[in-house]
A = this chain, B = another copy of it.
């Protein structure tokens, strides 16, 4: 059973994990250096713990204790209890879902582990927006994809905002970082995946045709602003496009991913 600690001082040193949640740069350093991530809201906290992540601590208003009682019963971690006003003072934002948890990151699995048994994989080059990374993970999980690989510059799927948008899919979908950017796609081809890059190049074919009849597929997506790097565009086995109305040449990356996942899952 978690031990409850009533907190009245916002400067309490035990609250370090929860400070300045709106400061993205500061949080990146703090979370990476301390190997932690934050989960927000009863549902997400529950899913993180159920997925096997070890809580370091919880922070919540008294009215959330009952709803998470069964989760708190499974751990010895401290639970810091405070008013919602105090929680806002500590975190720098209105904790409207009332419950936060700080959890230990697990070591990232190897690419081989993540790909083991996978038939449909998403590969993200430089998606730098946490909302997009979360939305893509959620769509991939819902639409039957088995794993996600992230290039080195992709945003962190365990950042609070990503987790929230992914609705916890980041805890169950196998994912890892690609250690090598330059040869990432040829190395997937060598493992038996046909790499299909979503792009607007001249030789791109409709995605439905590009994936038809393929066994193992890696769907490759580029950044919000500039799309794929020339290296990834050219080293993919195939280039594909989502057919669009004349005069319009782009969907946002989360919408494009959802359509491409739907089509690919039905190949």
Is A53 engaged at the interface, CB distance under 8 Å to the other chain?
Answer: no
Beyond A258-B258, A259-B259, whether A251 also contacts B138 by CB under 8 A is yes
Is A135 engaged at the interface, CB distance under 8 Å to the other chain?
Answer: yes
Instruction: For residue A45, give the distance in angstroms from its CB to the closest CB of chain B.
Output: 19
Task: Indicate which residue in B242, B244, B254 contacts A255 across the interface (CB closer than 8 Å).
Answer: B254
Is A64 engaged at the interface, CB distance under 8 Å to the other chain?
Answer: no
Choose the segment among A85-93, A141-149, A189-197, A214-222 that binds chain B (4+ C-beta atoms closer than 8 Å): A141-149
Is A245 engaged at the interface, CB distance under 8 Å to the other chain?
Answer: yes
Beyond A252-B165, A258-B255, whether A245 also contacts B135 by CB under 8 A is no
| Number of residues on chain A facing chain B (CB within 8 A) | 25
Q: Give the complex CA separation of A143 and B142 in angstroms.
A: 21
Is the Cβ of B135 less than 8 Å from the Cβ of A244?
no
Is A248 engaged at the interface, CB distance under 8 Å to the other chain?
Answer: yes
Residues 81 to 134 of chain A near chain B (Cβ within 8 Å): none
Of the candidates A165, A250, A259, A262, the one having the most CB atoms from chain B within 10 angstroms of its own CB is A262
Is the Cβ of A245 less than 8 Å from the Cβ of B139?
no
Q: Chain B residues near A245 (CB, 8 Å)?
A: 141-144
Copies in the complex: 2
Instruction: For residue A251, give the distance in angstroms from its CB to the closest CB of chain B.
Output: 5
Q: Knowing that A138-B251, A167-B250, A258-B259 are A-B contacts, what are 19 other residue pairs whose CB atoms are under 8 Å apart, sorted by A's residue number?
A: A135-B254, A135-B255, A138-B252, A138-B255, A139-B251, A139-B255, A141-B248, A142-B245, A142-B255, A143-B242, A144-B244, A144-B245, A165-B252, A169-B248, A252-B254, A254-B255, A255-B255, A255-B257, A255-B258
Q: Which residues from chain A sit less than 8 Å from chain B, CB to CB? A: 135, 138-139, 141-144, 165, 167, 169, 242, 244-245, 248, 250-252, 254-259, 262-263
Could you jot down 30 A-B contacts, CB within 8 Å? A138-B251, A138-B252, A138-B255, A139-B252, A139-B255, A141-B245, A141-B248, A142-B244, A142-B245, A142-B250, A142-B255, A143-B242, A143-B244, A143-B251, A143-B259, A144-B244, A144-B245, A165-B252, A167-B250, A242-B262, A251-B258, A252-B254, A255-B255, A255-B257, A255-B258, A256-B258, A258-B259, A259-B262, A262-B262, A262-B263
